[in-house]
Amino acid sequence: MKFREPLNQDNFLMFAMKAYENPSCKGMEEFFEGLERIKYIKRLLNKFEKKDSLKERLILNHIIILNNVFGAEAAARILFFKLEPEYHSCLKSFLKYLQVLPNTIPELDLSQVPQDHRIDQILKTIR
């Protein structure tokens, strides 16, 4: 999907709809349920930052599902756009672990986002 302009509040929904590819989708409700996964990821990352409690497998599952219905590049762009910058390092670690981190995205300079080494260590233990 070619949509190179940076995401903003005005074009986000159109971008997400164009990227959404779920042949078994039954309607708009299912599309919006897919976007709700972003809120779940945000809550889980917030809990990790506040309580140092990480549910890494649940986060991985949500990211994998988003990748399946939006594609890897679009899912990464959506996640980086919707999640606050304080979660970008965590997100980068998960996307890198899953090998779905794009080289570039228009919304930010990925080279300036460090990985979260705490999460990297946890993800190394998953078999």
- What phi and psi, each to the nearest 5 degrees, are found at residue 108? -160, 165
Each domain of the chain, given as residue ranges in start order, spans: 12-20+27-124
Q: In the predicted model, what is the mean pLDDT of residues 45-55? A: 93
Quick count: other Cβ atoms within 10 Å of Cβ 66?
22
Predicted pLDDT of residue 1: 54
Give start and end residues of each alpha helix (H) in the chain: 12-19, 28-51, 56-70, 72-82, 88-97, 117-124
Per residue in 85-111, pLDDT tens?
999 999 999 999 999 999 999 999 999
Whole-angstrom distance, CA of residue 83 vs CA of residue 28: 22
Predicted pLDDT of residue 2: 63
Whole-angstrom distance, CA of residue 64 vs CA of residue 69: 9
By the 8 A CB rule, do 78 and 66 touch? Answer: yes
122 falls in which pLDDT band (50, 70, 90)?
very high
Record the pTM: 0.92
